[in-house]
Amino acid sequence: MTRLASLLLLSLAPVALFGESKMPSIGYTGAPTDHGGQDCSTCHNSFGAANSDNGGSLKVTFGNTTGYVPSVQQLIHIVVQNPNASRWGFQITIREQTDQTLSAGTFAVLNSTDPETVVCDNGSQFGAQPPCAASTTRQFAEHMNAPRGASGQAFAFDVAWTPPAQEVGRLIVYVSAVAANGDDQPTGDHVYTFSQIISNAGACSLQVRPIFQNVVNGASFQPGFSSGAMVSIFGSGFQTSGNNRIAGLGDYVNGAFPTELGCASVQVTGGGLASPVLLPLAYVSPGQINAQMPVFPTTDPVMLTVLINPNSPNGVQSAVANITTLQNFSPAFFLFPNSNSIAAEEAHTFALVANPSVVMGASPAHAGDIVSLFGTGFGSTTPSVLPGSFATGISTLTNSITVKIGSVTLASSDIQYAGLSPDSISGLYQFNVRIPSGAGTGDVPVTITVGGQQTQSGATIPIQ
């Protein structure tokens, strides 16, 4: 860019920024997925980064001080103060912690004469007025025609917010505010930011006793499970109709999977446990719960109970189910949906290994490829990782295994890794194996044996 072009842009900057007092550019609240987490100090930076001075403040309070209740509107009160300010502005957004690209709930202004407005992200600099398009994933409330007042006085903005209709885990509120000196320039203004995590404070609407049907291996969907294995629990009444909850960042507790998800918990006793244990949960729908079993000291029968609204006055629970399929090992492969094709990927490129008819865009393996296979129920590892926690590094199987692809039993040198899948829940195992040249082609059967137990029959991998 030429020096002249640079000077022209600088000369136009105050005009553009003056327009921000009427309606600010969207996405400058400090939310990390918007403009890399920038806030109003991107432009109003005379005093450096936001919150750089001690002379003013930004306070945000909520009508419900304990969190949010799905679908129940509450008032958000935003107060900006600085002894040298006479004009004020703000912008707020609320995101799902699990996916911060998604807005949580909807904003509304209380009165048409108030200095606030609501905008939807339509890809433009300033957004669009509601109603928001169905494809809109972000919504903001902000000042409109930034109000003026006597120097040194605080200014309060009020915004109505209706949380999502369903419980979606923890949410994060982001606010950026400007305490301006009123000269219609971006200089001499103070910027403050605020962020806070809020949790679901409303009891779930479910009040009917959940019904337990059965619990199976979470990979094979066949009877039998073991310590630390992923399981699937089937029944009804686990969640409100149409609400499926997948555990994500907004649900993790101290870096581990939650024991309550979508207002449901699963408790087990027996198996030598000294006291009842709540299972880490990965998924909850009206008829299915995916969870991880604890480490059982014995193979005695296990009793399982599904709890709805645990620790709540309106809590209900299923009948206690007696489970007698606890084993020392319950090895099984995860399969791609509606197939017998093992969930697999190329170990170095992470390209999915499957027939394109099974998974669009996937492709078969070839002799000599190193392929990652995924399963559960293969027993203890070194180091051990607590159920529900993430395997943050290499954690190899304690017990030896036998891997067979087609009619070929792999040499130990062709099993490059056998253990927990790094950066995954500790019930997920990963096996990096080399496809042998004599395995054949087509949908080739694969088995892994550990402690005398073998993965389910019929599981295959395509080889060309």
The predicted-structure confidence for 275-314, as pLDDT tens digits, reads as follows 999 999 999 999 999 999 999 999 999 999 999 988 877 8
Please tell me whether residues 165 and 20 are part of one structural domain: yes
Asked if residue 205 is part of any domain, the answer here is no
> Mean pLDDT over residues 348-370, rounded?
96
Residue 226 has pLDDT above 50, yes or no: yes
Among 173, 198, 223, the domain boundary falls at 198
CA 99, 102, 105, 109 torsion-angle sign: positive
Please tell me whether residues 367 and 351 are part of one structural domain: yes
State the DSSP H helix or E strand holding residue 9, giving kind and residue range, or none if neither. helix 3-22
Give the DSSP letter of residue 342.
B
Query: What residues form DSSP beta bridges with 339?
Result: none
Identify the domain containing residue 238 by its residue range.
211-327
| Confidence at residue 153, expressed as pLDDT on a 0 to 100 scale | 84
Asked if residue 8 is part of any domain, the answer here is no
Asked if residue 5 is part of any domain, the answer here is no
Please tell me whether residues 125 and 55 are part of one structural domain: yes
pLDDT tier at 203, thresholds 50, 70, 90: low
Lowest mean pLDDT among 71-80, 160-169, 288-297: 160-169
Record the pTM: 0.75
Asked if residue 97 is part of any domain, the answer here is yes
| Confidence at residue 213, expressed as pLDDT on a 0 to 100 scale | 95
Please tell me whether residues 234 and 342 are part of one structural domain: no
Residue 147 has pLDDT above 50, yes or no: yes
| Confidence at residue 17, expressed as pLDDT on a 0 to 100 scale | 36
Please tell me whether residues 172 and 47 are part of one structural domain: yes
Residue 170 has pLDDT above 90, yes or no: no
Asked if residue 9 is part of any domain, the answer here is no
Please tell me whether residues 34 and 68 are part of one structural domain: yes
Asked if residue 350 is part of any domain, the answer here is yes
CA 436, 439, 445, 450 torsion-angle sign: negative
**CATH (domain of 180):** 2.60.40.4060
| Confidence at residue 9, expressed as pLDDT on a 0 to 100 scale | 30
| Confidence at residue 55, expressed as pLDDT on a 0 to 100 scale | 81
How many domains would you assign to the chain? 3
> Mean pLDDT over residues 350-354, rounded?
96
Please tell me whether residues 136 and 222 are part of one structural domain: no
**Rounded to whole angstroms, how far apart are CA atoms 426 and 279?**
13
Residue 193 has pLDDT above 90, yes or no: yes
Asked if residue 1 is part of any domain, the answer here is no
> Mean pLDDT over residues 442-454, rounded?
97
**Rounded to whole angstroms, how far apart are CA atoms 298 and 227?**
9
pLDDT digits 0-9 by tens, 386-443: 999 999 989 999 999 999 999 999 999 999 999 999 999 999 999 999 999 999 999 9
Residue 231 CB coordination number (10 Å): 28
Asked if residue 51 is part of any domain, the answer here is yes
Query: What residues form DSSP beta bridges with 269?
Result: 303
Please tell me whether residues 186 and 63 are part of one structural domain: yes
| Confidence at residue 438, expressed as pLDDT on a 0 to 100 scale | 92
Please tell me whether residues 408 and 353 are part of one structural domain: yes
| Confidence at residue 403, expressed as pLDDT on a 0 to 100 scale | 98
SS3 content of the chain, % helix, strand, coil (to 5): 5, 40, 55
**Rounded to whole angstroms, how far apart are CA atoms 181 and 47?**
13
Task: Provide CB contacts within 8 A for 33, sequence distance 6+.
Answer: 95, 100, 101
Please tell me whether residues 321 and 336 are part of one structural domain: no
**CATH (domain of 240):** 2.60.40.10
Q: Tell me the pLDDT of the chain averaged across its residues.
A: 90
CA 109, 71, 95, 193 torsion-angle sign: positive
pLDDT tier at 378, thresholds 50, 70, 90: very high
Among 163, 198, 233, the domain boundary falls at 198
Residues above pLDDT 90, as percent of the chain: 72
CA 450, 451, 452, 454 torsion-angle sign: negative
Please tell me whether residues 266 and 235 are part of one structural domain: yes
| Confidence at residue 134, expressed as pLDDT on a 0 to 100 scale | 66
pLDDT tier at 135, thresholds 50, 70, 90: low
Among 165, 198, 231, the domain boundary falls at 198
> Mean pLDDT over residues 102-109, rounded?
92
| Confidence at residue 6, expressed as pLDDT on a 0 to 100 scale | 31
| Confidence at residue 230, expressed as pLDDT on a 0 to 100 scale | 97
371 φ/ψ angles, rounded to the nearest 5 degrees: -120, 140
Residue 13 has pLDDT above 70, yes or no: no
Please tell me whether residues 378 and 336 are part of one structural domain: yes
pLDDT digits 0-9 by tens, 110-121: 998 899 999 999
| Confidence at residue 204, expressed as pLDDT on a 0 to 100 scale | 75
Which has more pLDDT, 274 or 4? 274
Residue 357 CB coordination number (10 Å): 10
pLDDT tier at 3, thresholds 50, 70, 90: very low
